């Protein structure tokens, strides 16, 4: 990268000239500034690849310039030039994001090596950023397929909550709705995106081992603890930890997790030393945590700490307008993967997909498309190719109103009981959305239609994460 553009910032003209000549001889483009204000102007107008920055400037301190640079252009590499012995300022500069520092008087050979490393670091940083953006774009496209108001509301909440990298999020929804996908997308859109995203399914780990997995352990903490081990909280430091099926966590572990959320500190199992971390906690569940709190199976204080922002991912049957866009997306994906000629669906096949209740949600739809494309050979999907896993083939069986009518008409109650809270929640959401759309999202009019007070309407809309859909910006 010998054609890179370097900005030299130093108040001494002799030093600027000395370094400028050496850099030009090496093939670099060079600009110079003797003051901090001029340096900031050049950074904005010329967009250099690297800045050589002296800390002692006539109009401001170099650390203030460094802070401004890292806020506005975090990928711009800065090398600090400092007087011999001013190690304290150099260390502060490194903490603010400087790539490295070099002592005066300048050793050109050392300077060339340091510049080369800094430019290589910038190149790698940009490549990583590009790959991460491609990953984020893919996640976004997969997630927002379809135009249902429910999913637009969810995506808007994701965009908003991603702007804060500390707020805890509780994702609720049935199995297969994409809760992990939501958590990953929040991380990728946040300022923590270049740090780890780690996940653990609390239901898949034996309860007696979950504490060690999360918090780590010291050597000898228990029978099989032969070595010290870092937990996921330490490994995710700076990034995001996703706790799936958080309702399966034991009360003992809940106490320790609460302390992390309150103080961002914890002790390893068997340890005495406090370990400080900066981790965003995103949790998910398909259970009713409020009911578990009432039954003393889940700590109420932890519940409210986890659900600073509650985010409900709707079931696929609640957003029928998204079924075919998702099905076509998966069909294209697997046709390409398996080199099959599928181009679309017959009308009968679309009718089957649209009337099936999808108890397994998006995961079931994706698996169906993968299995069908792999096992069948044709230019389009026919109805008879779709081997669905349930005898129920109409949406009405699973709709809230139909389920309620069936419960009221049939004698007795189902052996598995009546899903009162999920049923009432679905009915409430459907009514609020219908009234909101009828009133063009005017809350006063919506409240009138529903015969509710506005404060009660606002409470329910917040509870279900219902907001007015915004128009998506053109890509």
Q: What is the pLDDT of residues 123-145, one digit of tens each?
A: 877 776 666 665 555 555 555 44
What CA–CA distance (Å, rounded) separates 41 from 159? 32
Q: What is the pLDDT of residue 393?
A: 36
Predicted local confidence at residue 256, as pLDDT: 94
Three-state DSSP class for 246?
Answer: helix
Q: Work out the mean pLDDT of the chain and round it to a whole number.
A: 85
In this prediction, residue 395 carries a pLDDT of: 37
Q: Give the pLDDT of residue 75.
A: 82
pLDDT, tens digit (0-9, with 9 covering 90-100), for 83-105:
755 778 888 888 888 999 898 88
Number of domains present in the structure of the chain: 4
Please write down the long-range contacts of 441-445, taking CB distance under 8 Å and 24 or more positions apart. Answer: 441/468
Regarding beta strands 265-266 and 275-276, do their DSSP bridges make them parallel or antiparallel, or are they unpaired? antiparallel
State yes or no: pLDDT of 31 exceeds 90.
yes
**Together in a domain, 14 and 114:** yes
User: Across residues 302-312, what is the average pLDDT?
Assistant: 95
- Asked if the structure places residue 469 within a domain, the reply is no
Q: How confident is the model at residue 392 (pLDDT cuts 50, 70, 90)?
A: very low
Considering only 15-24, 120-129, 167-176, which range has the smallest mean pLDDT?
120-129
**Residue 348 included in any domain:** yes
Same domain flag for 384 and 361: yes
- Residue 257 CB partners (closer than 8 Å, separation 6+): 214, 243, 249, 281, 302
Q: Which domain holds residue 346?
A: 325-395
Distance CA 474, CA 433 (A): 25
> Which of 375, 395, 415 marks a domain boundary?
395
For residues 183 and 218, membership in a common domain is answered with: yes
Q: Is the pLDDT of residue 416 over 70?
A: no
Cα 162 to the chain's mean position, in Å? 7
Predicted confidence (pLDDT) at residue 179 exceeds the cutoff of 90: yes
Cα angle value 433/438/444 (rounded, 5°): 85
What mean pLDDT is predicted for residues 59-74?
Answer: 88
Same domain, 403 and 280: no
- Mean of the pLDDT values across residues 51-65? 91
**Is pLDDT at 408 greater than 50 in this prediction?**
yes
Which range has the worst mean pLDDT, 194-203, 218-227, 312-321, 364-373?
218-227
Residue 389 shares a structural domain with residue 406? no
Instruction: Tell me if 260 sits within 8 A of 233, measured CB to CB.
Output: yes
Mean pLDDT of 109-115: 92
Q: Given this model, what pLDDT does residue 244 score?
A: 95
pLDDT at position 228 over 50: yes
Both 347 and 273 in one domain: the answer is no
The answer to whether 197 and 239 are in contact (CB under 8 A) is: yes
Q: What is the pLDDT confidence band of residue 152, given thresholds at 50, 70 and 90? A: confident
The pTM score is 0.58
Pair of tokens at residue 52: 């050589």
Alpha-carbon span 73 to 464, nearest angstrom:
38
Q: Average the pLDDT over each of 134-143, 190-199, 270-279 and give the range with the smallest value.
A: 134-143
Q: Tell whether 340 and 232 lie within a shared domain.
A: no
176 & 307 share domain:
yes
User: Which residues are CB-neighbours of 45 under 8 A, at least 6 positions away?
Assistant: none
Instruction: Quote the strand ranges of 144-268, DSSP E.
Output: 169-172, 197-201, 240-244, 265-266
- Residue 466: pLDDT band (50, 70, 90) is confident
Whether 468 is covered by a domain: the verdict is: no
């Amino acid at each position: 990268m010998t054609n890179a553009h370097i900005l030299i910032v130093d108040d001494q003209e002799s030093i600027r000239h000395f370094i400028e000549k050496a850099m030009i001889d090496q093939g670099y483009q060079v600009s110079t500034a003797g003051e901090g204000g001029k340096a900031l102007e050049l950074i904005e107008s010329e967009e250099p690849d690297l800045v050589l920055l002296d800390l002692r400037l006539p109009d401001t301190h170099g650390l203030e310039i460094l802070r401004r640079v890292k806020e506005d252009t975090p990928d711009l590499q800065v090398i600090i030039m400092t007087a011999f012995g001013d190690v304290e300022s150099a260390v502060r500069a490194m903490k603010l994001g400087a790539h490295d520092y070099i002592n005066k008087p300048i050793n050109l050979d050392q300077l060339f090596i340091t510049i080369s490393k800094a430019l290589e670091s910038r190149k790698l940083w940009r490549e990583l950023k590009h790959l991460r953006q491609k990953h984020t774009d893919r996640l976004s496209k997969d997630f927002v397929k379809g135009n249902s108001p429910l999913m637009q509301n969810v995506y808007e909440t994701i965009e908003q909550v991603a702007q804060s990298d500390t707020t805890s999020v509780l994702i609720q929804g049935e199995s297969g709705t994409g809760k992990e996908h939501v958590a990953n997308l929040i991380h990728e859109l946040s300022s923590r995106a270049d740090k780890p995203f780690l996940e653990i399914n609390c239901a898949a780990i034996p309860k007696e081992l979950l504490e060690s997995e999360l918090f780590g352990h010291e050597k000898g903490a228990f029978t099989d603890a032969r070595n010290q081990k870092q937990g996921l909280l330490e490994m995710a430091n700076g990034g995001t930890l996703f706790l799936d099926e958080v309702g399966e966590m034991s009360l003992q572990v809940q106490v320790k997790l609460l302390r992390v959320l309150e103080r961002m500190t914890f002790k390893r199992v068997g340890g005495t030393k406090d370990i400080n971390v900066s981790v965003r906690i995103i949790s998910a569940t398909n259970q009713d945590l409020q009911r578990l709190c009432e039954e003393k199976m889940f700590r109420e204080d932890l519940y409210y700490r986890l659900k600073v922002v509650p985010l409900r991912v709707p079931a696929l049957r609640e957003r029928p307008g998204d079924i075919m866009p998702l099905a076509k997306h998966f069909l294209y994906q697997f046709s390409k993967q398996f080199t099959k000629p599928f181009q679309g669906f017959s009308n009968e096949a679309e009718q089957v997909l649209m009337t099936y209740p999808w108890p397994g949600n998006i995961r079931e739809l994706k698996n169906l498309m993968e299995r069908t494309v792999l096992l069948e050979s044709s230019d389009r999907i026919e109805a008879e190719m779709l081997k669905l896993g349930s005898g129920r083939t109409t949406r009405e069986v699973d709709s809230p109103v139909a389920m309620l009518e069936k419960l009221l008409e049939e004698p007795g109650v189902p052996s598995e009981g009546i899903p009162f809270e999920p049923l009432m929640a679905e009915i409430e959401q459907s009514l609020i959305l219908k009234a909101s759309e009828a009133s063009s999202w005017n809350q006063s009019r919506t409240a009138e239609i529903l015969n509710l007070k506005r404060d009660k309407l606002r409470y329910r809309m917040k509870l279900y994460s219902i907001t007015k859909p915004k128009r998506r910006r053109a890509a």
